[in-house]
Amino acid sequence: MIVVMDLRVGEGELEAVEHVLEEYGYRCHLIRGESRIVIGAVGSAKGEVPPALETMPGVEKVMRVSQPFKLVSREVKPDDTIITAGNLRLGGGFVSVLAGPCAVESEAQLNEAARAVKEHGATALRGGAFKPRTSPYAFQGLMARGLEYLRQARAETGLAVVTEVVNPADVEMVAATADIVQIGARNMQNYPLLREVGQLRKPILLKRGLSATVEEWLMAAEYVMSEGNYEVILCERGIRTFETYTRNTLDVSAIALAKRLTHLPVVADPSHAGGDWRLVKPLALASLAAGADGLLIEVHPDPARALCDGPQSLTPAHFAELMADVATLAPVLGKRLWRGEAE
Ligand code: PEP
Ligand code: MN
């Protein structure tokens, strides 16, 4: 349930309402939006409404949330959540681009990719140090050394760092480097991992599972938020369908739907959706037209030699072309390409 509070409510009144809710077995999440203050009360098995709640000082109204996801829902927070990390800004009338190689392979490869994506307007560098590969024999990432190269690239370029964590035991280590922690598609329903990153106080990029419904994806975001980490970025990266000409099928409707059902920023990953560099631009532009706040793009200085996801990686030159088209399209959609504070 949500308890909508008067905008002028005092701290003491808020605490009194939270106290009553906690007595009824709820966990309280205070959500300060632009237009209202709301207490999201979740987690009570009985779901009883305390009888005096509606008449308590500072309480405007009490509402049930009809969706199974609560803190994620626009019913709880009507205005868009804007997430910032370093020079990256997601949501609020901008289109932002997170780009980089699938995997950190070497210091030179990462630096070259970082310089290129920055030059063409990305504000975050995405690269995996821990790779969740389908085959145990495939390159698994440089791990701690990869994190070190990411820190160096950030120091050199000022780009925010996005990198994946695959193991709950590594969350602290990965979060010490990452500005945004990525949860990959294969781990979208790894609930201990979701709870662990829910303990962090930094943004989580949550990729949609390979065969996850929109509701399962949003419930995964609810896991993270229920632990008190409200900065979740949803990432549509294509789902499994009967089609084999593409690696996955970009679910454009999920982007539009997620924007309607939730207040969280939505990013599209056309690289993993199409699985082919030639499909990246059309899918990226379609995603923006459907309402995506940002794009996650795989860029490699030499895709033919990439250790991971080369066929879907853009060269720096192709990335530059994509960014030019993004800059042209954004104003048509009433948005602007976000190039960072220095703009
Ligand atoms: C990735 O982002 O490189 C990746 C492994 O993607 P996904 O988890 O979407 O398959
Ligand atoms: Mn990849």
Q: Profile the chain (343 residues) by mean pLDDT over runs of 10 residues.
A: 93 96 96 88 89 95 93 94 96 96 98 98 98 94 98 98 98 98 98 98 98 98 97 98 98 98 98 98 98 98 98 98 98 97 64
* Ligand 1 pocket residue status of 207, Cβ below 6 Å: yes
Tokens of 234: 């949803």
Cα–Cα distance measured from residue 316 to residue 302, given in angstroms and rounded to the nearest whole number: 9
Nearest CA to ligand 1 atom 9: 185
Q: Per CATH, is 2-63 categorized as 3.30.70.1140?
A: yes
* Ligand 1 pocket residue status of 208, Cβ below 6 Å: no
* pLDDT at residue 50, as a whole number: 94
* pLDDT at residue 226, as a whole number: 96
Cα–Cα distance measured from residue 151 to residue 162, given in angstroms and rounded to the nearest whole number: 11
pTM of the model: 0.96
**Of 242, 335, 238, 231, the residue nearest 279 (C-alpha):** 238
Residue corresponding to tokens 């000409």: 245
Across the beta sheet with 2-5, the strand order is 27-32, 37-42, 2-5, 59-63
Q: Which of 164, 174, 188 has most ligand 1 atoms within 8 Å of its beta carbon, as the pocket-test mutant?
A: 164
* Ligand 1 pocket residue status of 296, Cβ below 6 Å: no
**Taking phi first (over 0 means left), then psi (-120 to 50 degrees means alpha), and beta for anything else, what does residue 260 get?**
alpha
* pLDDT at residue 45, as a whole number: 81
* pLDDT at residue 35, as a whole number: 79
Tokens of 308: 């991971």
* pLDDT at residue 341, as a whole number: 82
One-letter amino acid at 87 equals: N
Give the length of the chain.
343
* Ligand 1 pocket residue status of 303, Cβ below 6 Å: no
Q: Which of 186, 190, 267 has most ligand 1 atoms within 8 Å of its beta carbon, as the pocket-test mutant?
A: 186
Looking at the chain, which residues constitute the CATH 3.30.70.1140 domain(s)?
A: 2-63
* pLDDT at residue 44, as a whole number: 87
Looking at the chain, which residues constitute the CATH 3.20.20.70 domain(s)?
A: 83-337
Buried b or exposed e, range 148-157, using 16+ CB within 10 angstroms? ebbeebbeeb
Tokens of 245: 């000409």
* Ligand 1 pocket residue status of 272, Cβ below 6 Å: yes
* Ligand 1 pocket residue status of 221, Cβ below 6 Å: no
- Report whether 122 contacts 314 (CB < 8 A): no
- Report whether 154 contacts 162 (CB < 8 A): no
Q: Which of 217, 235, 237 has most ligand 1 atoms within 8 Å of its beta carbon, as the pocket-test mutant?
A: 237
According to DSSP H, which parts of 209-269 are helical? Answer: 214-226, 252-261
Tokens of 215: 């509701």
From the candidate CATH numbers 2.60.120.860, 3.20.20.70, 3.30.1360.20, 3.20.20.140, the one assigned to the domain spanning 83-337: 3.20.20.70
